[in-house]
Amino acid sequence: MEILKTKAAMRAWSAEQNAAIGFVPTMGYLHEGHLSLVERARAENRKTVVSIFVNPAQFNDPKDFEKYPSDLEHDKALLEKSGIDALFLPAREEVYPSGVPKLRLSYDASMARLCGKFRPGHFEGMLLIVHNLLMWVNPTRAYFGLKDYQQFVLVKSMARDLEFPLEVIGCPLLRDADGLAMSSRNVRLSPKGRAEALAISRALKKTQADFPRLKNNLAELKAAFATELKPLSIEYAEICDADDLSEATGRAEPTKQYIAAVAATVDGVRLIDNIFLN
């Protein structure tokens, strides 16, 4: 595994590869969910690159940025064992030598919903770093976990609209044995908080099970979803069109795919999760 620390080194490495490159961008503190993306990238490409960079531009709360967990030596060991070809590990000064640029990439309608409604500037900062990473790595395919479903939709739209010559692939989220969606933030939960957080996955599975019965009344389905999540501190609990994240109301259309999505705070930790309904 080569470790590349500059944009120039990353570009040069990619230019030397006469092979399909699979790319997994991360913010580190890796878990099995990340490694499932790496495994798929290795299976579908001759070369695999993982990046680790905790991007300050996508944290609307400075305290959240300061608390984001990190264990670089652990991450390196996992990636070495996984068999990737290169780790892109730039410092903040390398990525933003003159500070975070004022440039913002935005999809106003899609960003006004779900996480974007409550985290101003988050997705603009995310698209900025993903745009730049895609330029520096120049992959054939880029892999994103569907736990961050809104992120996946936005990145796929950006890659399409800016005509990046690559495929953006969404990979299923993974859950721990107790049902909690894998996340780097889970380490901050107390045992009591983790037990409380399991209400999220239970509510999602119940909503998925209720969908065939309530597909002609999505407002009732949404209300039942919110009820299942009590008494958690809920930021949002939505039923959405999976393509454009618009609110799904009325009757479900048989040709469309729908998703239930939730954000909740447990133990001061913000957790997100989702499930496809059909």
- The model carries a pTM of 0.96
Tokens 């048989």 sit on residue: 254
Residues labelled catalytic: 34
Q: Which CATH superfamily is domain 184-276 in?
A: Pantoate-beta-alanine ligase, C-terminal domain (3.30.1300.10)
Is the pLDDT at 60 greater than 90, yes or no? no
CA distance 110 to 102: 21
Q: Can you give the residue ranges of every domain in the chain?
A: 2-171, 184-276
Task: Find out whether 16 and 46 touch, Cβ atoms under 8 Å.
Answer: no
Q: What is the pLDDT of residue 26?
A: 98
Taking the alpha carbons at both ends of the chain, their separation in whole angstroms is: 40
pLDDT in tens, 182-214: 999 999 999 999 999 999 999 999 999 999 999
- 3-state percent breakdown (helix, strand, coil) of the chain, nearest 5: 45, 20, 35
Q: How is domain 2-171 classified at the CATH fold level? A: Rossmann fold (3.40.50)
CA distance 65 to 69: 9
pLDDT in tens, 67-96: 899 999 999 999 999 999 999 999 999 999
Q: What is the pLDDT of residue 61?
A: 87
Q: Which two tokens stand for residue 218?
A: 């999505």
Instruction: Tell me if residue 225 falls in helix, strand or coil.
Output: helix
Q: Which two tokens stand for residue 30?
A: 């890796």
Let me know the angle formed at the C-alpha of 215 by 213 and 221, rounded to the nearest 5 degrees. 85
